[in-house]
C-alpha cells in the first residue's frame, strides 16, 4: 500500500509538472466540445441548385420561389440549357439541377400531369442524397397545393392516401447537438484514458527510468496500478468537464442517473487505460505507441457509431464493433444521457466492458516483463 | 563467500550475435572489481544479467549467493545498479528522486544516510533542483546516491565515469574507495584503461571474451618484454618503418610516443636509433617506459 501511495505521489508530481498534459486534459475537452458539435452537423443547408426554366410561366416561378424560400437551397444558376447547367455542376457551383420542361403550366392544367427532371451531383453522397429528398418533398408539397386550387375538395378522397406523421422520441427536435455531444465526449474520454497511459509507460522505457525501476523489488501489479490510477482519475476529470460544457453550452442534462453514468465511466476507463497499458508493453518508443494507438483509435471512432450508424453496417463490420470499446460507451452515453436508461438496461454493455477491463489489464501485467 | 560468481556465461542476441561468450570470473566480498574493455565488449550485457534484467542463454551466475535466474527477487533487493545512461526521473527534484527510490526499497533516507553522506553534502545545495537540470558529474553522484540508498550488498556501476570531466572522475573513484571501506562490493565497468589501476582486480574483456583476470599490478608485472617509448620528427613514417623493422616485436602509437618492444631481450636499443637514422628520421628520442594496463590490453588482443 505504501509503495502504491508513493508511486502515485511521484506520478502526480510528474503530471502536474508537465504543462502539455494539463493543457490536454483541461483545454482539449472544452475546445473540442465547443467546436466539433457545431461542425459535425448532418443537417444539410446551402444546397446549391441550378434551375433550367424552359417554361417561364407563373407556375414555374412559383415552384422556384417555393424551393429557394425553404432555406435549404441556394439558387446559384438560372440557365437556359442543360449544357449550361451541367457546366455549373462541373465547376462545383451547383449540386443539383432542376429542369422545368416546356409547357409546364399548360400541361399541368390541361392534362393534370407533368414531369420534372432532377440531376444530382453525387460526389458528396450525404449532400446529394438529402438534397434530392428535400427537393422531392418540396415538389410534392407544391403538387398538393395546386391540386387544392383546381379540384374542389370532395368529402371523401377519391384516392385513399396514407398521411404519415412522425415524432422523434428522446430528441424531439432532432437536434444534432443532442446526440453528437455525448458521442464526442465518449471519444474524448477514450483519447485521454488510452493515449496518456500508453505514452507514459513507453516514455519510461525511452528515457531508461524503467531500467532503474526493474532492478527494484517493486511488484509488477504495483507498477501497473501506479500507472493506471492517475490516468483513471484524469479521465474522470475530463468527463466531468465535458458534462459541464454539455450542460452550460448545449443545455444537455443527463436524463438518467449521474451516479450510473459515472459508474459506467469508471469501469470503462479501466478498460481503455488497460488497453493503453497493453499497447505500451509491446512498444519500445513513444513514436511506435503513438502510431499503434492512432491505428486503433481511428477504427474505434469510425466504427463506433458516432458518424455512421452501426445498424447499417455489413455483418462482418458489426462483428468488429463488438470488440470496439468506444461503440459501447457511445451507446451507453446516449442511452443514459438522452433516454434515461436505468441500471437494468445497461447491464449487458457494462458486463462486456468489465470483461475487457479484466482482460486488457491482466494481459498488460502478464506482458510487462521486468527481465528481458 | 564470493559476492559475485559467473560461470561459463553466454548471452546471444538474435540468432548469432554473441555478446558474452563463455565468461567465468568471481568477485570477492568487499573488493572493487573492474570490467575493462572497449565499447561493445559485452560489459553492459554482463551487468544486465547480474542485475536480473537479462536472462542468460547459457552458464550461470550468482550474486551474494543467489542465482540470477531463480532467486531474482532476493537479488533485486540486495543490489544497487547504476546504468550507463542516466535513468532517474528528470522531472523530479534531487530530493524527490532519492526519496522515491528509498521508499521503493522500503527504507528511508535517514536510515542509510551515513552511506551517502559524503556524496549528498555536495548535492544538498541543489536538492530542490530538477534532476534533468544537473551537470553531468552531479547527475552521476545523484544516481550513485539512489543506487546506494537501500544499503546494497553489491553495487553495479556501468560506465559511471563515461562523459564526466577528469576532476569529477577522480572524485568519483575516491567515493568508491570510501564505499569499499564500508564493506560494499563494487563491480564497475569502464572503457578507460587508466581507471583500471584503481580497481583491486580487473577482468579484461574484448568481443565478449575474457582476456585475463588479475590484479592490475600482476597484469603489469606479467608483461614479458622491456617497453620503450619512441618519438621522431615524422611519426607517421616512424610507425611505418618500425612495422617493417625485423627486430621489433610490437609497435603502436601511444599518445605522442610510439611504444615498442624488441624480439631479443638483450637487444641494444641504440642499434634501433642508428637504424632509424639511416632511414632518414631525425630528432629520435628513445626511452624506457613503464608498462600500463593499456599496453597489456593491446598485447592480449
Q: Return the C-alpha torsion angle B10, B14, B19, B20, nearest 10.
A: 0
What is the tens place of the pLDDT at every residue in A82-141?
Answer: 888 888 888 888 888 888 888 888 887 777 777 888 888 888 777 777 788 888 888 888
- Tell which A residues from 182 to 241 touch B, by Cβ distance under 8 Å: 207-218
Chain A residues lying within 8 Å of B85, measured CB to CB: 208, 211
- Say yes or no for a CB contact (<8 Å) between A215 and B103: no
Chain B residues lying within 8 Å of A10, measured CB to CB: 89, 92, 96, 100
What value does the CA radius of gyration of chain B take, rounded to a whole number of Å? 23
Q: Residue A155 has what pLDDT?
A: 59
Q: Name the residue facing A211 among B53, B77, B96 (closest C-beta).
A: B53
- Asked whether the predicted pLDDT for residue A177 surpasses 80, the reply is no
What is the tens place of the pLDDT at every residue in B25-45?
Answer: 999 998 999 998 888 888 889
Q: What is the spatial order of strands in the sheet that B2-13 belongs to? A: B17-28, B2-13, B58-63, B66-67
Which phi and psi angles does B35 have, rounded to 5°? -105, 110
- Say yes or no for a CB contact (<8 Å) between B87 and A14: no
Contact (Cβ atoms closer than 8 angstroms) between residue B198 and residue B32? yes
Q: Which residues pair with residue B250 across a beta bridge?
A: B261
Chain B residues lying within 8 Å of A216, measured CB to CB: 76-77, 101, 104-105
Q: Which residue in chain A has the smallest CA separation from B147?
A: A212
Rounded Cα distance, B242 and B255, in Å: 16
What is the tens place of the pLDDT at every residue in A316-338?
Answer: 988 888 899 999 998 898 889 88
- Asked whether the predicted pLDDT for residue A213 surpasses 70, the reply is yes
- Is the ipTM reported for this complex over the cut 0.85? no
Confidence label for A74 from pLDDT (cuts 50, 70 and 90): confident
A14 has a chain B CB within 8 A of its CB: yes
Q: Residue A358 has what pLDDT?
A: 95
Q: Which residue in chain A has the smallest CA separation from B45?
A: A372
Q: Name the residue facing B92 among A2, A10, A218 (closest C-beta).
A: A10
What is the tens place of the pLDDT at every residue in B67-78?
Answer: 988 888 888 888
Q: How far is CA A339 from CA A16, A342, B61, B125, in A?
A: 37, 9, 65, 61
User: What residues have CB less than 8 Å from A64, skipping those under 6 apart?
Assistant: A51, A53, A75
The proportion of chain A whose per-residue pLDDT surpasses 90, expressed as a percent, equals 22
Q: Which domains does chain A have, with CATH numbers?
A: 2-40+173-367 (no CATH), 47-150 (3.40.1710.10)
What is the tens place of the pLDDT at every residue in B75-90?
Answer: 888 899 998 888 889 9
Chain B residues lying within 8 Å of A15, measured CB to CB: none
Q: Which residue in chain B has the smallest CA separation from A10?
A: B100
Q: Which range, of A146-160, A224-238, B88-102, B109-123, averages the lowest pLDDT?
A: A146-160
Q: Name the residue facing A6 among B76, B79, B100 (closest C-beta).
A: B100
Q: Which residue in chain B has the smallest CA separation from A19?
A: B91
Q: Residue A42 has what pLDDT?
A: 63
**Distance from the B284 Cα atom to the nearest Cα atom in chain A, whole angstroms:** 51
A91 has a chain B CB within 8 A of its CB: no
Rounded Cα distance, B113 and A205, in Å: 30
- Asked whether the predicted pLDDT for residue A14 surpasses 80, the reply is yes
Q: Residue A129 has what pLDDT?
A: 79
Chain B residues lying within 8 Å of A212, measured CB to CB: 81, 83, 87-88, 101, 146
User: Pick from A226, A235, A183: which is nearest to A365 by CA?
Assistant: A226
Confidence label for B285 from pLDDT (cuts 50, 70 and 90): confident
Which phi and psi angles does B15 have, rounded to 5°? -95, -40
Which phi and psi angles does B93 have, rounded to 5°? -75, 170
- Asked whether the predicted pLDDT for residue B277 surpasses 90, the reply is no
- Asked whether the predicted pLDDT for residue B190 surpasses 90, the reply is no
Find the DSSP H helices in B149-248. 166-181, 216-221, 235-244
Chain A residues lying within 8 Å of B100, measured CB to CB: 6, 10
Chain A residues lying within 8 Å of B51, measured CB to CB: 215
Q: Name the residue facing A212 among B54, B88, B96 (closest C-beta).
A: B88
Q: Residue A157 has what pLDDT?
A: 60
Q: Which range, of A105-114, A341-350, B109-118, averages the lowest pLDDT?
A: A105-114
- Secondary structure in 3-state letters for chain A: CHHHHHHHHHHHHHHHHCHHHHHHHHHHHHHHHHHHHHHCCCCCCCEEEEEEECCCCHHHHHHHHHHHCCCCEEEEEEECCHHHHHHHHHCCCCCEEEEECCCHHHHHHHHCCCCCEEEECCCCHHHHHHHHHHHHHHHHHHHHHHHHHHCCCCCCCCCCCCCCCCCCCCCCCCCHHHHHHHHHHHHHHHHHHHHHHHHHHHHHHHHCHHHHHHCCCCCHHHHHHHHHHHHHHHHHHHHHHHHHHHHHHHCCCCCCCHHHHHHHHHHHHHHHHHHHHHHHHHCCCHHHHHHHHHHHHHHHHHCCCCCCCHHHCCHHHHHHHCCCHHHHHHHHHHHHHHHCCCHHHHHHHHHHHHHHHHHHHHHHHHHCCCCC
Q: Residue A288 has what pLDDT?
A: 92
Q: Which domains does chain B have, with CATH numbers?
A: 2-221 (3.40.50.300), 227-300 (3.30.70.100)
Q: Residue A154 has what pLDDT?
A: 59
Q: What is the spatial order of strands in the sheet that B257-262 belongs to? A: B248-254, B257-262, B227-231, B285-289
The stretch A150-161 carries a mean pLDDT of 62
Contact (Cβ atoms closer than 8 angstroms) between residue A320 and residue A344? no
Rounded Cα distance, A107 and A146, in Å: 13
Q: Which range, of A25-39, A142-156, B49-63, B281-295, averages the lowest pLDDT?
A: A142-156
Q: Residue A138 has what pLDDT?
A: 85
Rounded Cα distance, A6 and B115, in Å: 23
Amino acid at each position: 500500500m505504501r509503495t502504491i501511495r508513493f508511486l502515485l505521489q511521484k506520478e502526480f508530481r510528474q503530471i502536474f509538472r508537465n504543462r502539455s498534459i494539463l493543457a490536454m486534459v483541461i483545454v482539449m475537452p472544452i475546445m473540442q466540445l465547443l467546436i466539433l458539435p457545431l461542425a459535425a452537423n448532418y443537417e444539410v443547408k446551402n444546397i446549391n441548385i441550378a434551375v433550367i426554366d424552359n417554361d417561364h410561366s407563373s407556375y414555374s416561378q412559383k415552384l422556384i420561389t417555393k424551393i429557394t424560400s425553404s432555406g435549404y437551397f441556394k439558387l446559384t444558376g438560372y440557365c437556359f440549357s442543360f449544357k449550361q447547367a451541367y457546366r455549373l455542376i462541373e465547376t462545383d457551383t451547383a449540386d443539383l439541377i432542376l429542369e422545368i420542361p416546356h409547357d409546364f403550366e399548360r400541361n399541368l392544367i390541361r392534362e393534370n400531369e407533368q414531369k420534372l427532371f432532377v440531376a444530382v451531383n453525387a460526389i458528396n453522397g450525404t449532400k446529394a442524397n438529402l438534397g434530392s429528398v428535400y427537393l422531392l418533398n418540396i415538389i410534392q408539397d407544391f403538387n398538393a397545393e395546386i391540386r387544392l386550387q383546381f379540384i374542389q375538395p370532395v368529402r371523401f378522397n377519391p384516392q385513399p392516401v396514407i398521411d404519415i406523421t412522425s415524432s422523434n422520441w428522446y430528441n424531439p427536435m432532432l437536434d444534432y447537438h443532442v446526440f453528437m455531444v455525448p458521442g464526442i465526449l465518449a471519444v474524448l474520454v477514450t483519447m485521454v484514458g488510452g493515449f496518456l497511459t500508453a505514452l507514459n509507460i513507453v516514455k519510461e522505457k525511452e528515457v531508461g527510468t524503467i531500467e532503474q525501476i526493474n532492478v527494484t523489488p517493486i511488484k509488477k501489479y504495483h507498477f501497473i496500478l501506479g500507472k493506471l490510477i492517475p490516468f483513471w482519475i484524469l479521465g474522470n476529470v475530463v468527463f466531468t468537464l465535458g458534462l459541464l460544457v454539455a450542460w452550460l453550452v448545449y443545455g444537455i442534462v443527463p436524463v438518467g442517473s449521474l451516479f450510473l453514468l459515472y459508474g459506467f465511466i469508471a469501469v470503462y476507463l479501466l478498460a481503455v487505460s488497460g488497453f493503453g497499458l497493453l499497447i505500451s508493453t509491446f512498444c519500445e518508443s513513444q513514436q511506435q505507441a503513438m502510431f499503434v494507438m492512432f491505428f486503433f483509435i481511428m477504427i474505434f471512432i469510425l466504427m463506433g457509431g458516432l458518424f455512421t450508424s452501426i445498424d447499417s453496417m455489413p455483418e462482418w463490420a458489426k462483428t468488429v464493433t463488438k470488440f470496439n470499446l468506444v461503440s459501447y460507451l457511445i451507446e451507453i452515453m446516449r442511452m443514459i444521457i438522452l433516454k434515461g436508461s436505468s441500471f437494468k438496461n445497461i447491464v449487458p454493455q457494462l458486463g462486456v466492458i468489465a470483461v475487457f477491463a479484466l482482460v486488457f489489464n491482466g494481459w498488460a501485467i502478464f506482458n510487462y516483463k521486468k527481465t528481458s | 563467500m564470493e559476492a559475485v560468481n559467473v560461470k561459463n556465461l553466454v548471452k546471444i542476441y538474435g540468432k548469432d550475435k554473441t555478446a558474452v561468450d563463455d565468461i567465468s570470473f568471481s568477485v570477492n566480498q568487499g573488493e572493487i572489481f573492474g570490467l575493462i574493455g572497449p565499447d561493445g565488449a559485452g560489459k553492459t550485457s554482463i551487468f544486465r544479467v547480474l542485475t536480473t534484467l537479462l536472462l542468460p542463454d547459457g552458464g550461470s551466475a550468482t550474486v551474494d549467493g543467489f542465482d540470477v535466474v531463480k532467486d531474482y527477487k532476493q537479488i533485486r533487493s540486495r543490489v544497487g545498479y547504476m546504468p550507463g545512461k542516466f535513468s532517474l526521473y528528470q522531472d523530479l527534484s534531487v530530493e524527490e528522486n532519492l526519496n522515491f527510490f528509498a521508499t521503493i526499497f522500503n527504507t528511508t533516507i535517514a536510515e542509510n544516510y551515513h552511506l551517502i553522506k559524503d556524496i549528498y553534502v555536495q548535492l544538498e545545495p541543489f536538492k530542490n533542483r530538477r534532476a534533468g537540470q544537473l551537470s553531468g558529474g552531479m547527475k552521476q553522484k545523484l544516481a550513485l546516491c539512489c543506487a546506494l540508498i537501500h544499503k546494497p550488498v553489491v553495487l553495479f556501476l556501468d560506465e559511471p565515469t563515461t562523459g564526466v570531466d577528469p576532476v569529477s572522475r577522480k572524485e568519483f573513484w575516491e567515493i568508491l574507495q570510501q564505499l569499499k571501506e564500508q564493506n560494499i562490493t563494487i563491480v564497475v565497468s569502464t572503457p578507460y584503461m587508466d581507471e583500471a589501476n584503481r580497481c583491486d582486480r580487473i577482468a579484461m574483456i574484448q568481443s565478449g571474451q575474457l582476456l585475463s583476470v588479475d590484479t592490475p599490478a600482476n597484469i603489469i608485472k606479467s608483461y614479458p618484454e622491456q617497453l620503450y617509448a619512441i618519438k621522431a620528427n615524422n611519426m607517421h613514417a616512424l610507425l611505418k618503418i618500425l612495422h617493417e623493422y625485423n627486430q621489433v616485436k610490437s609497435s603502436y602509437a601511444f599518445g605522442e610516443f610510439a611504444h615498442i618492444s624488441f624480439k631479443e631481450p638483450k637487444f641494444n636499443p641504440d642499434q634501433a636509433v642508428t637504424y632509424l637514422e639511416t632511414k632518414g628520421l631525425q630528432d629520435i628520442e628513445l626511452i624506457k617506459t613503464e608498462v600500463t594496463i593499456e599496453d597489456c590490453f593491446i598485447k592480449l588482443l
